[in-house]
Structure 1
Amino acid sequence: MDFKIKSVSNKNLAEALQSKIDQKTKPIGALGSLEKIALQIGLIQGTDRPILKNPTIAVFAGDHGIAKKGEVNPYPQEVTAQMVYNFLNKGAAINVFCTQNNIDLHIIDAGVNHNFNGISDLIDAKIDYGTQNYQEVPAMTKVQYENALKKGGDIAKQIFHNDCNSIGFGEMGIGNTSAASLLMSYFTDTPIAECVGAGTGLQPESITIKQQILSEVYHKHNPTSPQEALSCFGGFEIVMITGAILKAAELKMTIVIDGFIVTAALLGAHAMHPEVLDYCIFAHTSGEQGHQKMLAYIGKTPLVNLGMRLGEGTGAAIAYPIIKSAVAFLNNMASFESAGVSDGN
């Protein structure tokens, strides 16, 4: 897909927004990161009175061929499908946080190794019943990669046309921390050992085995382009998130980035279109060890660090009220002039 993503850079608007922020009844800079978020969202929307409409989180689910062996994951592959049912039954953490914060939630079958038989409320974007085992062959074919990227973009576009301008992403897929570690290693040029963490709860000896396996996988494929890396190592859910991020940026949506897996998808988008970072707000620092290094690589500081490493988009849902507060103060807080308060000048 050919994504047309433009930088949000606008000197005149940036100066107007900063002046508006500085004239609020507070010391300059006193609202910290909220001021930066307000400025960013104003630039994304091209106005000094931005609004957040129908915030949505899209959770993409997919299975990974390597997970069938159970060497890199403590939970069986069947858990992916079981958790999708949990999402649909509104029993997961992401359901709780989205309900609490009035965020729309969409669940997408990107490639789960299960037949859901057209169950209602599940978006069917299945590419295949899981990827191939990248210990043997690339995770997906070029055609599958292209289809996943396009479907992700199409889903973001559909959400946009539901009058939404703020979107976050989540994921579910047993084995997807392995895929994210491989992608992190490729995009950040970091040794595999520094990318691999506990995932869903591996013990130290199992982490060592996981590091060895993934190091062998990386050197077996040795990709030479972002597209090849995503197709060799990615899951269908990861590639769809990459496509969705790119399309959301093209549509000038505010994008809330979750944790380790979603940031791995973002690294792919960033490698193809660096301007995508202009549209991204980073929700939290994951407890997965590689995530902090990913964030350092792209020079971004997340809003909170609560030690979370659940995935599902939970970090994005938790952070949304902070983002909402940034827009609220920009639009509703009095200025020194309107309040009749001396600004010290």
Structure 2
Amino acid sequence: MYSKDDMILWSMIGSMVIDIGKIEVLAFSPEYLFRIFKKSSELGVNILNENYNEVLEVIGTLKDGMEKEKIKNFFGDFRLLQNLRKQIEKEKEVMEKNEIKFITYFCSNYPKKLRKYKIPPFVLYYKGRELDEDNLEKSICIVGTRKPESQGIEEFTEELVKNMKADLKYNISGLALGCDFIGHKITLKYGIKNIAVLGQGLGSEIYPKEHMDLAKEILGNGGTIVSEIPPSLKIKGVYLLQRNRLQAYLAEELLILETGRKGGTMTTLKVAFLEKKRVYIRNIKINQTVFNLKNISKVTFISSYSDIKLIKILTSKPNTLFTFEFS
């Protein structure tokens, strides 16, 4: 029902940003927007086709509220939608120029696991090898702070990766400085393919620019660079939050090397727990301080690969030993 061009348009709508004071936020709640998309798909109604009665039919099935009124006004503004449609050809030109491919929610090769989550991407734009659905089941997401303070972090990561490499097919991370970089480099060293999830369009300059060579190395070793952001759009803080969610969706396990009380790692962690992913947290003082906050309980730390082996024995299903209570 929705064409590939329509799906690019959905991804553009989902990436629209507005300014609120000193911060930027998405124009629409991603969860609410996806509900509109899914409901219209179930009803067989293309609400991008400039029929306001059909728009109202779909939106009328959802709960009332401020978000509903925003959505109603937006999808009723057909001139705005027409202007957005003009941008589709520009996005396709950027894709062709930069060898960017894409798959949509309706494509047969769209990862099936993504469809079961609360806010799956409308489109996955990617460079490099297509995502391997089977190998995604044997993946880990190695993340953490951009400025790790503790000693021995690389040795710890290498010990884990060396012991896990026989069963590990993908490392999924965000190409960021610090812990992400450590995870990418060590897994590449042991022949594990990498998926770098970016908070920007793939036609814009790689962020951070220091990792342009790392991005090339990932692609050169059979990996993938992926984003749900339309290709022409540059990096934004709000897109990095979307990136963190997608990392947790794609990976089966999460390894936190080091983190502060705030930041992208905590966003990834929350999604991982909500989706019942298995989570490993490196046992160091700074992590113990962060994860002993009042709103978090029953956290277990790991010091070596033997701890991971024990966790996997105790949890035969891909679930976590830890429970978090977020305020």
Structure with greater proportional strand content: 2
User: Higher RCO, 1 or 2 (CA under 8 Å, sep at least 6)?
Assistant: 1
- Tell me which interval the TM-score lies in, with the shorter structure as reference length: 0.3 to 0.5
- Taking structure 1 as the reference length, the TM-score comes to 0.31
Q: Identify the structure with the greater helix proportion.
A: 1
